[in-house]
Amino acid sequence: MIIKLHKGDITKMSVDTIVNAANSSLLGGGGVDGAIHRAAGPELLVECRKLNGCPTGKAKITNAYNLACKHVIHTVGPIWKGGNSNEANLLKSCYKNSLKLAEAYKLESIVFPNISTGVYGYPKEEAAKIAIETVMTKSLKLKHLKEITFCVFDDTNYEIYQKLLKDII
Ligand code: AR6
């Protein structure tokens, strides 16, 4: 299993699947969700309309249309409400359910954005710890996935991930 850290735009990544930090309507939005829908083209929204949304912590998969990857896994992160509203478990579930779905589709590579750390306001360091811990724990049991990448977009997340991953290694 290879775990990578990449700084840049997730929509440019040619892997089996990228993960979208969506909202429960799955009908697009701002941030990484908006960027993914813009780059994929309008057919992505047409497919998403048929999915009837997605609860927080769960994940659904679609085609990737004009993107360089093959699939998009849409997951819905929790909105940060101070930490006592099951946010940590829900965020953990986003990573777990996305990996489970990728495995079910026999995918070999997946890229995660920093789910919930933008508009949804999850504290970045806490979110990074959950992301890394969940992926590391789950990765021991995966059959098909060979490469998991954390795609960071802002400098703060880049520094946090660099430090946490270095500490683990
Ligand atoms: N590539 C990689 N990461 C990105 C990109 C990109 N092109 N653009 C932003 N990020 P956010 P959330 C990072 O707000 O907090 C949407 O409107 C960004 O720096 O996109 O889960 C949805 O529809 C941040 O670290 O997602 C929902 O309504 C991370 O992606 C809501 O936002 C997540 O920021 C979801 O909020």
Domain boundaries, the chain: 2-165
CATH no., domain 2-165: 3.40.220.10
Catalytic residue status for 9: no
Q: What is the pLDDT of residue 167?
A: 87
Cα of 120 vs centre of ligand 1, distance in Å, is: 8
Report the residue among 79, 153, 161 best suited for mutation to probe ligand 1: largest number of ligand atoms under 8 A from its CB: 153
pLDDT per residue rounded down to tens, the chain (169 residues): 899 999 999 999 999 999 999 999 999 999 999 999 999 999 999 999 999 999 999 999 999 999 999 999 999 999 999 999 999 999 999 999 999 999 999 999 999 999 999 999 999 999 999 999 999 999 888 999 999 999 999 999 999 999 999 988 7
Ligand 1 pocket, 31 CB below 6 A? yes
* Dist. CA 90–CA 105, nearest whole Å: 23
Q: What percent of the chain has pLDDT over 70?
A: 100
